[in-house]
Amino acid sequence: MGRFNRSAPSVTRAREAEWGHPILPIQRGALLVMNHQAEDPRVGLAQDRTGMARFRTQLALDRTTLAWIRTALTMGTFGFGTVGFFRSMLEKSHTPEAAQMHQGAIRFGISLVVLGLVSSAAAGITHWLSLRRLRRGQPLVLSQWPLSITVAMFLAVIGLISLWYVVPR
C-alpha cells in the first residue's frame, strides 16, 4: 500500500481506519481491485446513481421522441395548409399562373406530409432501438446521419425543388 501513496501514509492509514477498509490504490489511472470493495458504502450509492442515470436517459429519449412527433405533425399540418391556401387562390383566379402555383403547392404539400410521416416513423424506430439498448445495458450509439440532419437535408431538397416550380421561367 505504501508504494502507491508515499507522500502521506499517516493520512491514508487514518482514512482506512475511519472507513474500516483499505483505500483502493490508484496506479496509472486504473483502479486496482481489492477484496474489501464490496464493503465500501459508496458502491451502493454508485449503483443507485447508475439506475437514476438510466432513468434520466430514458426520459430524455422520451422528450426527444415527443419533439419529433410534434415536428412531424407540424410538417403535415403545414403541407395540408399550403395545399388548401393555394386551392383557394386557384378558385379566386383561374389564371395559368394560379394553376401552376396550385400544382406546385400540391407537390410541396404532399412532400411535407410524406416527410412528416417518415420522420415520425423513424423517430419511433430510433426510440425503440435506443430503449432496447438501454434496457440491455449496451452503450447507446450515435449514428453517422442523425434524424435531425437527415430531415434537414430532405427539407432543403424539397425547398429547392419547390423554388424550381415557383420561379417563373
| pLDDT over 70 at 11, yes or no | no
Of residues 118 and 21, the one with the higher pLDDT is 118
Specify the pLDDT at position 153: 92
Domain boundaries, the chain: 10-39, 55-166
- Residue 64's Cβ-count burial label (10 Å; 0-12, 13-18, 19+) is middle
Are the CB atoms for 61 and 101 separated by under 8 Å? no
| pLDDT over 90 at 69, yes or no | yes
Q: What residues pair up with 31 in beta bridges, in sequence order?
A: 26
Q: Render the burial of 145-161: b for 16+ CB within 10 Å, e for the rest.
A: eebeeebeebeeebeee
pTM (two decimals): 0.62
Of residues 101 and 10, the one with the higher pLDDT is 101
Cα–Cα distance, 120 to 114 (Å, whole number)? 10
Specify the pLDDT at position 98: 81
| pLDDT over 80 at 26, yes or no | no
Q: Render the burial of 80-99: b for 16+ CB within 10 Å, e for the rest.
A: eebbeebeebbeeeeeeeee
Q: How confident is the model at residue 125 (pLDDT cuts 50, 70, 90)?
A: very high
Residue whose C-alpha is closest to residue 125's, from 68, 73, 71: 68
Q: What residues pair up with 27 in beta bridges, in sequence order?
A: 30
CB atoms within 10 A of CB 1: 12
What is the 8-class DSSP label of residue 56? H
- Rg of the chain, C-alpha, whole Å: 30
Residue whose C-alpha is closest to residue 105's, from 83, 127, 84: 83
Cα–Cα distance, 109 to 158 (Å, whole number)? 10
List phi, psi (to 5°) of 26: -115, 125
Q: How confident is the model at residue 74 (pLDDT cuts 50, 70, 90)?
A: very high
- Total count of residues recorded for the chain: 169
| pLDDT over 90 at 118, yes or no | yes
Of residues 25 and 13, the one with the higher pLDDT is 13
